[in-house]
Amino acid sequence: MADTTTLDQASCEQMTMETLRNFPEGRNIWTCIQCGLCAGTCPYGEHMDYPPRRIIGLLREGMLDEIYKSDSMLYCVACYACKAKCPRGIDLTGILLPLMKEQVLINHPELPAELQKALENMLRYGNPMGESPRKRAAWVKTSPVPVRILSEDPTPTDVLWFVECYTSFYPRGQENCRATAKIFNRLGTDFAILGNEEKCAGECGRLSWETGLFTTLMEYNMQIFAKYKFNRIVTSCTHAYDAFRYRYPVLGFAYELEHTTPYFARHLDKLKPLMTKKLNYKVTYHDSCCLSRHNGYYDGPRTILESLPGVKLVEMTHNHVNSICCGGGGGGMWLDTYYKTKGFERLSERRIKEAIATGADVLAVSCPYEISRFEDALKVVGGDNKMIVRDVAELIAEAIE
Amino acid sequence: MKILVILRMVPDVIEELEVASDGKSLDSEFLRLIINESDNHALEQALLLKERHGGTVTALALDGPEIDDVLFTALAKGVDRAVKITGVEKGLTTRRVASVLAQSLPAVANVLPADMILTGCQAIDDLDGQVAPLLTQALKLPYLGLVTKVNVNPPAARASVVREFSGGVRGEFDVPMPVVLGIQAAEKPPRYVPVAKVRAVMKSARIEAVAAPGAPQAPAVDIVEMKKPEAAGRAKMIEGSPEDVAAKICDILAERGLL
Amino acid sequence: MAQSIWVLAEQWRGKISDATYEVLALGREIADGLGAPLEAVLLGDKVKGLAGSLGAADTVVVVDHPSLAHAGPENHGELLGRLAKQRQPLAVLVPMTNVSWDIIGSLPAQMEMPFVNFCENVEASGGKLTARCLLYGGKMQATMAPEGAAIYGIMPGARQAEKGKVEKSPAVEEPAITPVEPTVKFKNFIEPDAGEIDITQMDVLISVGRGMQNEDNMGLAEELAEALGGAVSGSRPVIDQGWLPLSRQVGKSGATVKPKLYVAAGISGAPEHVEGMKNADLIIGINTDAQAPIFNVAHYGVVEDATDVLEALTKAVRAKKG
């Protein structure tokens, strides 16, 4: 089942189709018992011609060509559900599936237009929206507390806060930024951001086909990190967390690393006396795929939420390791139109209905994609008068007066 | 088929454009250049023609910032040869670009005569001329612009080409070859090329460099002043949340009898 | 003969285009400002009868010949080059439209004159002409003052077409000059799909651009259009992507529309689009970029994500309608 991987593990980034069998994680793929738990648990498994089980079957027979010509791999949203359920602990999501996707891209590079644009924008502008990189730190002007930008003031800092794209550019994401800055400030954290020098960590490019793009972004970010002195990186984005933890080590990344939610959980004793405003919310928490299922991190956010004054926590039908992905990973963020043309139900809509069924007022999340995906889904299912979506950081900030 | 594609870089307007201290040119500190959109379509059209009819495609551009990336990307997409013309003054206006190209093409081995020369039919910085038709005049070739479809039947020496008019009306033309076509849009959107492929090409392929034979023969154009547009009437901005804005717009519409 | 200001009279499918009248209005001002005569140059096949409607000019120079049926560098451009060398115009004003596009491109070489593109205005002052040009998709304005005779590409909307329609009979000249038969041969027109909505007839257009991000969001525009009794139109990129059919395109290659309400959602407002909608009665621009040129032509502007505003507006409209 889901194991908490350690930082000593070989970087996922090191393995290629050719070198797979040189690594224990690679060799593990061949121990598949064809049980089909992966296909059964995959949120889009019913639509795939080649779920992980079949891929491994074909891999053993040396018949991968037919996968390369199919668009089945486009339905994988990199949610780690298959990896979590695999009785052999095969790293499907982190190793096998990205390699398959990469080959599919090489073999038929006709990507759905929106995904193509996102990848091109990531390469050119360092963010998938295609916004000018010089606007990445524009949100800082709206911050209620000072936020130091390292390129302007390179004094060493304790925390390098890696903000990421959706949080920096997307208006709802900027509320998360303001909340996070406020929390850091109240905790007395010594923090700074890269500002306009920051570029996407590249995880979604990586998990959706584009190793070359990922390598380019990774090389760039490592070079920027080398310019400054800091003790640890804390990031608002769960995908960036995964990229830094599992892939960047191939280029020597060895910084201490945390996502904001675990960071805040670790400082809960200092936050509790500050969180004085009674929120009076019934909250349900959506376990983010990267942070929770992939990294085994379930309790921290719940502990935070339960310490918020006036908050009652309820669980959705599918929770913890069984949580259903919002559909944003692996390129899914830019494939909604494509999935619609295929007649698939949007995963965020499937999940939001579960959330609404709990009777909660607030859906709490930890991943920047989830805010936009779930708020959108709420509108589509007509639930936007019943429920709001908030990042854990926003809730903490709201409780701090 | 032997196809030549001419690529050019234009200012990337995603970035905020600023005026330089001389008051008549673009500030280059944060200026980024991007491939001219219709040139990118011309490249795609050339590759489509190659896929259909075989032959070779050469991509050619004037040397300048960010051009290597563009030429390597073209090679990764399937172009056979990439050539850049070096020793060219920076910041040439389009008329002078056309002049340099006209002089340089004959100096590049094996690129003329081409069956088709494809390039974009317009660009956002065409202040003193459009490159394609001016180049055509210099090369004494026929030209058709605003092209959205190209049908060839090699070895026939003519092609059937669709051009846009207005109101959604298009026209079908019969053109001789060799010909210069100003592409408005390729038959398919420009393809994606994996970054890994471009990186591999950067290691394995070469961009040929050919020195421009001389200075541009066209006159320089004199910009008196450049500035951000002062709108004669700028829009009245409506502030607030989408709901606030919607309410205010409804009021405006009601006032005008539209609601 | 006196040197004059030239206006290239554009005719298409038997009619003088609106763009021609706009340029004539401008030409008249310039000619009066320089104290020079204004000449409209009309080339085509069976176009002589149209000369009478160009009364804003003092003289119409007509060359009527089958080879001139379709404007291109080989026939029109070449002929104009010869005429210009004979008659030495002080300035040549050309409408920037798809029909005249290719000639605009070749004339600078054929007339051996400098060219000034994207002109939104040209003024005569002290015997010289100064042009104001919009560059980089409308994001910058350049002022040009060429020495001597030059060709000016005039953007649609520089003047009101009505001002260029004058009830006067101009003198008509038919120079003895024979055009060259072009090697680029016109075959036939391809009409847009019939049975579709004619956006030029709609009172309300909800127009979408790249800022709508993906095809899914078309639904938001459609809902608003329906709520207001209008139709959805779009800028070129949206049509190129296949989100809307060609018949819905507004702009240079598409339709020119004059609805009572034009909502530009996620449209930057580049000149090629603006020329197709600038005369709408009420223009509301919605774009996340506060610097987007659309706000220079819109009556009201909103700096917000278009998808959010369209959604909220549909709700509000439906609520008001009850």
Q: Using CA coordinates, name the residue in chain C closest to A135.
A: C289
Helix, strand, or coil (residue B147): strand
Structural domain includes residue B224: no
Q: Within 13 A of B155's CA, how many CA atoms are on the CB side?
A: 0
Give C305's contacts in chain A (Cβ within 8 Å).
Answer: 171
What's the confidence (pLDDT) of residue C1?
58
Give the model confidence (pLDDT) of C153-206 as tens digits. Answer: 999 889 989 999 999 999 999 999 999 999 999 999 998 876 678 899 899 999
State yes or no: pLDDT of A354 exceeds 80. yes
Architecture label for domain A113-266: 3-Layer(aba) Sandwich (3.40)
Q: Find tokens 């609106």 and name the residue.
A: C18
- What pLDDT score was predicted for residue B231? 62
**What is the third-level CATH fold of A4-107?**
Fumarate Reductase Iron-sulfur Protein; Chain B, domain 2 (1.10.1060)
Q: Is the pLDDT of residue A360 over 90?
A: yes
Contact C170, C59 (CB under 8 A): yes
Choose, out of A114, A121, A166, A172, the residue to mutate when testing the contact with C (most C CBs < 10 Å). A114
Cβ pair C192:B19 closer than 8 A: no
Tell me the pLDDT band of A4, cut-offs 50, 70 and 90: very low
Q: Which residues of C touch B253 (CB under 8 A)?
A: 228, 261, 317
Domain-located, residue B155: yes
User: What per-residue confidence (pLDDT) applies to A106?
Assistant: 81
Burial (CB < 10 A; 0-12, 13-18, 19+), residue A65, is exposed
Residues C259-304 have pLDDT tens digits of 999 999 999 998 889 989 988 999 999 998 888 889 989 999 999 9
Nearest to C98 among B165, B254, B256 (CB): B165
**Å from C244 to nearest chain A CA?**
15
Could you give the count of Cα atoms lying within 13 Å of A149 in the half-sphere of its Cβ? 14
Cross-chain CB nearest to B166 (options C130, C141, C253): C253
pLDDT score for C239: 85
Tell me, what's the pLDDT at C122?
A: 97
Token pair 């207005």: residue: B166
Contacts of A49 (CB under 8 A, 6+ apart): A70, A72
Candidate from A125-134, A357-366, C235-244 with smallest mean pLDDT = C235-244
CA A240 from centroid of its chain's CA atoms: 7
What pLDDT is recorded for position C16?
95
Whether residue C47 contacts residue C35, with contact meaning beta carbons closer than 8 Å, is answered with no
> Neighbours of C (≥3 Cβ pairs closer than 8 A)?
A, B
Between chains, do C253 and B253 touch, taking CB under 8 Å as contact?
no
Q: Which of B14, B191, B198 sits opposite A132 (nearest CB)?
A: B14
Whether the predicted pLDDT of A9 surpasses 70: no
Instruction: Measure CB to CB from residue C214 to each of A114, A171, A379 and give the nearest one.
Output: A114
Q: Distances from the Cα of B139 to the Cαs of B45, B95, B97, B186, B206, in angstroms?
A: 22, 14, 14, 24, 27
Q: At B43, give phi and psi (nearest 5°).
A: -60, -45
Task: Share the mean pLDDT of chain B.
Answer: 93
CB contact under 8 A, B194 and A109: yes
Give this complex's ipTM: 0.91
- Range(s) for CATH 3.40.50 in chain A? 113-266, 273-399
Instruction: Report pLDDT for B22.
Output: 92
- Segment C66-119, tens digit of pLDDT: 999 999 999 999 999 999 999 999 999 999 999 999 999 999 999 999 999 999
Average pLDDT over residues A358-383: 91
The count of other CB atoms within 10 Å of the CB of residue C16 is: 22
On whether residue B189 sits in a domain, the answer given is yes
CATH number at residue B21: 3.40.50.620
Q: Is the dihedral of CA B104, B107, B113, B117 positive or negative?
A: negative
Cβ neighbours of A113 in C, within 8 Å: 241
Q: How confident is the model at residue B219 (pLDDT cuts 50, 70, 90)?
A: confident
In this predicted model, what pLDDT tens digit does every residue of A216-241 receive, in sequence order?
999 999 999 999 999 999 999 999 99
B250 part of a folded domain: no
Q: Is residue B42 within 8 Å of residue B6, measured between CB atoms? A: yes
CB of C32 within 8 Å of any CB in chain A? no
Query: Tens of pLDDT along A178-209?
Result: 999 999 999 999 999 999 999 999 988 777 67
- Residues of chain A contacting residue C311, judged by C-beta atoms under 8 Å apart: 379
Q: In this structure, are residues A157 and A374 in contact, taking their beta carbons and an 8 Å threshold?
A: no
Burial class (CB in 10 A: 0-12, 13-18, 19+), A64: middle
The answer to whether residue B173 neighbours chain C at the CB level (below 8 Å) is yes
Give the A-side interface with C, CB within 8 Å.
Answer: 113-114, 171, 334, 336-337, 340, 379
Asked if residue B70 is part of any domain, the answer here is: yes
Once rounded to an integer, what is the mean pLDDT over residues B221-235?
A: 82
Out of B30, B189, B195, closest to residue A213 by CB? B195
What was the pLDDT predicted at A5? Answer: 40
CB pair distance less than 8 Å for A114 and C305: no
Q: Given C105, C134, C191, which is nearest B132 (Cβ)?
A: C105
B230 domain residue, yes or no: no
Min Cα separation C171/chain B (Å) = 31
Q: Residue A7: pLDDT band by 50, 70, 90 thresholds?
A: very low
A273-399 fold: Rossmann fold (3.40.50)
CA proximity to A228, closest of A161, A313, A297, A136: A161
Closest Cα partner for A376 from A342, A336, A338? Answer: A336
Q: Which chains touch A (3 or more CB pairs under 8 A)?
A: B, C
Q: Mutation test of the interface with chain A: which of C214, C287, C304, choosing the one with the most A Cβ atoms within 10 A?
A: C214
Q: Which of A77-81, A353-357, A381-385, B118-122 has the lowest mean pLDDT?
A: A381-385
Q: Inter-chain contact C213–A114, Cβ cutoff 8 Å?
A: yes
Q: How confident is the model at residue A14 (pLDDT cuts 50, 70, 90)?
A: confident
* Residue C243, min C-alpha distance to chain B (Å): 13
Q: Is B108 among the domain residues?
A: yes
Interacting residues of B110 by C-beta distance below 8 A, sequence separation 6+ = none
Query: Does B42 map to a domain?
Result: yes
All CATH 1.10.1060 domain ranges of chain A, comma separated, are 4-107
Residues whose CB falls within 8 Å of the CB of residue C235, separated by 6 or more in sequence, listed in order: C207, C208, C209, C210, C249, C250, C251, C267, C270, C273
Q: How many whole angstroms separate alpha carbon A102 and alpha carbon A83?
A: 19
| pLDDT recorded at residue C270 | 87
Distance (Å) from the C-alpha of residue B12 to the closest C-alpha of chain A?
A: 10
The radius of gyration of chain C's CA atoms, rounded to the nearest angstrom, is: 21
8 Å CB contact of A211 and B196: yes
A132 CA: distance to closest CA in chain B (Å): 5
pLDDT at residue number B233: 67
Mean pLDDT of A9-26: 82
Mean pLDDT, chain A, rounded, equals: 91
Asked if A131 lies within 8 A of B195 by C-beta distance, the reply is no
The pLDDT mean for chain C works out to 93
SS (H, E, C) chain A: CCCCCCCCCCCHHHCCCCCHHHCHHHHHHHHCCCCCHHHHHCCCHHHCCCCHHHHHHHHHCCCCHHHHCCCHHHHCCCCCHHHHHCCCCCCHHHHHHHHHHHHHHHHCCCCCHHHHHHHHHHHHHCCCCCCCHHHCCHHHHHCCCCCEECCCCCCCEEEEEECCHHHHHCHHHHHHHHHHHHHHHHHCCCEEECHHHCCCCCHHHHHCCCHHHHHHHHHHHHHHHCCCCEEEEEECCHHHHHHHHHHHHHHCCCCEEEEHHHHHHHCHHHHHHHECCCCCEEEEECCCHHHHHHCCCCHHHHHHHHHCCCEEEECCCCCHHHCCCCCCHHHHHHCHHHHHHCCCCCHHHHHHHHHHHCCCCEEEECCHHHHHHHHHHHHHCCCCCCCEEEEHHHHHHHHEC
Provide the domain count of chain B: 1
Name the pLDDT band for C54 (thresholds 50, 70, 90).
very high
pLDDT at B232 over 80: no
Measured between CA atoms, the residue of chain A closest to residue C212 is A114
Q: CB contact, 8 Å: B227 with chain C?
A: yes
Identify the domain containing residue B101 by its residue range: 2-211
3-class state of residue C93 by DSSP: strand
**Contact check, Cβ <8 Å, C216/A340:** yes
Residue from A199, A239, A179 nearest A367 by CA: A239
